[in-house]
Structure 1
């Protein structure tokens, strides 16, 4: 029988919440526990729709993990940086430019933060693919992989799927009875994110900001055991511009939190590689409001092409000044991608 005792690791002690007088964004909070019933989904999807179209970010609570489970995930998240020796970590470095995704270790000073002044980033992260067996992991992390796998599945099936279902409802885009039967009722499996939906497990140390509709940057407040959810590039393609990719950035934490490490846990949802980034033209909502295409349908890139194009160039290429103030640009697959300073 499998052991009921979880492997031990250090406990991540979160720093106190900031007491700085910051301008926080006024973000909506949705109760994901309501997404399991038709009545709950009917109540939730307008809330999610309005929040994503206004700010691009929304909090989610009652997502299925309690505070203890959430704390355990942050404990595990610290293992690669607190336990794995630096020399061993280097052997698990992600070959980002070659493969086009972040699975593995990314050290500091890889991305260009400021090209003109030659300033590089100070962020290090360890990324794990949805298939946790896709590549090996450092020795100290291996005992925790079953828990990581369960966490990934929870994010994918219990959070992303309900969110996508609510977005589909907001577009009045339904599959036929025949399609449902064939699929056995399985539903869709100062930058913008590459994929469709991003989940950030709310972290105490500030730094995340969103660009408000008036162009100002506003802080995202920490809520204990809440999720911060936003849309990415691929959702803009699929929704014909109805859902814009959230413009956000990470800045230095508030002054009273600058002596703490900022540990984060994320889940990035990506469609299958062979899916074309085409708008859902069948949606009555999109037919009514009009579809905004970033490229002609015949030129729509595959998800794998867009992912690799964005990932391999991000923070590595010299950007060109755009027409807008404090905006730099690059071109991916013939499509202009903006970066916001």
Structure 2
């Protein structure tokens, strides 16, 4: 039976967590990452007020008129506002929709900036400055608080992943000390109410995430679907108080697919023939732009050789080009075949 396990990571959040509890979490994490590629995380320590602030920020910005929101659009960049039907996430795998740019969500993205890392000569393409919507005065403070909280959870999870893979302590530190982190806040834009779905209608196209792992807050409404190893889609909703966490391509390539970067999508959230509103905020922990993704010790064999090396930035840039301009990546054949075979 398909199941996204719930894992309590409080022993890793607590600097004094017991070794026995941490060992149990590492075992549970390894089992989940080897099978489903998704987990539900509780005991993450993020205050309810920080979550409430994020929700209020989303509501404040997305209530603005479309022409106002479009003032914060930055075409071709992974920052600022993306209007509905301006992206196609399935093209990040090279899988074209019938109507190529057909994802019915709007989004606002912020992320790591060059100026955060003094003394490093980092590329603007990977560490662009952020745009903040002055028309939503409460937005920046609340979003920055959530960004910091989700960033903290992602680092806690990486520590647990390091233990689960039986790697030396701090193995990933040099690969993540100037990480490309991004927060993409989504709003599914079809108006609430009764509708008649006709033709291809996609909330967010089938895709894998690009980096190390993703920390997702989402409304407890239908929409998110995960593709299992048999090519069947399954509905997933967060448990009470849980954050959904999934692995990205960097971790799958590092582990030579011992751990899964699971294909997922969002269909229009429909309950009893009615569209209902859905919001989400995905924090992408992607790693340093110049970090080389090559097979970890013990994860390759003569029968199962590792992937060819690629940098984090090369992987992200190719997939963003697919999502935003429709240029299919050259190295996504494996994931594309899984999507095309799904039922």
Match of 1:15 in 2: none
Within the candidate set 315, 318, 326, 1:317 is matched to 326
Counterpart-to-counterpart distance in 2, 1:292 and 1:81: 47
**Cα deviation 1:282-331 (Å, max 9, x = unaligned):** xx5x3689764232xxxx2221111111111126437xxxxxxxxxxx44
Runs of 5+ unmatched residues, structure 2: 91-95, 117-127, 180-205
Match of 1:106 in 2: 82
Within the candidate set 95, 103, 125, 2:75 is matched to 95
**Cα deviation 1:29-83 (Å, max 9, x = unaligned):** 1112121323321110110110111111110012112444322211112222113
Counterpart-to-counterpart distance in 2, 1:152 and 1:119: 28
Q: Is the 8 A contact 2:60 2:139 kept in 1?
A: no
Report whether the alignment pairs 1:307 with 2:296.
no
Counterpart-to-counterpart distance in 1, 2:304 and 2:177: 23
Structure 1 position 202, deviation (Å): 3.4
Q: Is the 8 A contact 2:209 2:249 kept in 1?
A: yes
State the TM-score, normalized to the length of structure 2.
0.74
1:158-169 pair list within 5 angstroms: 159-169=153-163
Structure 1 position 150, deviation (Å): 2.2
1:69-148 pair list within 5 angstroms: 69-83=50-64, 85-96=65-76, 99=77, 102-112=78-88, 115-116=97-98, 120-131=102-113, 134-148=129-143
Report whether the alignment pairs 1:338 with 2:335.
yes
**Partner SS for 2:315:** helix
Match of 2:307 in 1: 294
Within the candidate set 205, 211, 220, 1:195 is matched to 211
Within the candidate set 24, 30, 37, 2:7 is matched to 30
Counterpart-to-counterpart distance in 1, 2:100 and 2:211: 28
Q: Is the 8 A contact 1:238 1:280 kept in 2?
A: yes
Give the number of equivalent residue pairs. 288
Q: Is the 8 A contact 1:56 1:244 kept in 2?
A: yes
Counterpart-to-counterpart distance in 1, 2:311 and 2:279: 33
Match of 2:34 in 1: 53
Report whether the alignment pairs 1:65 with 2:62.
no
Counterpart-to-counterpart distance in 2, 1:232 and 1:307: 11
State the TM-score, normalized to the length of structure 1.
0.75
Runs of 5+ unmatched residues, structure 1: 1-23, 319-329
**Partner SS for 2:291:** coil
**Partner SS for 1:145:** helix
Counterpart-to-counterpart distance in 2, 1:229 and 1:290: 30
**Cα deviation 1:204-224 (Å, max 9, x = unaligned):** 221101112222111102322
Alignment RMSD, CA only? 3.0
Structure 1 residues 335 and 27: alpha-carbon distance in aligned structure 2, compared to 1, 3 A threshold: closer
Counterpart-to-counterpart distance in 2, 1:81 and 1:69: 19
Counterpart-to-counterpart distance in 2, 1:119 and 1:266: 20
Structure with higher Rg: it is 1
Counterpart-to-counterpart distance in 1, 2:306 and 2:227: 22
Structure 1 residues 47 and 90: alpha-carbon distance in aligned structure 2, compared to 1, 3 A threshold: same
Counterpart-to-counterpart distance in 1, 2:80 and 2:324: 17
Q: Which has more strand, going by share of residues? A: 2
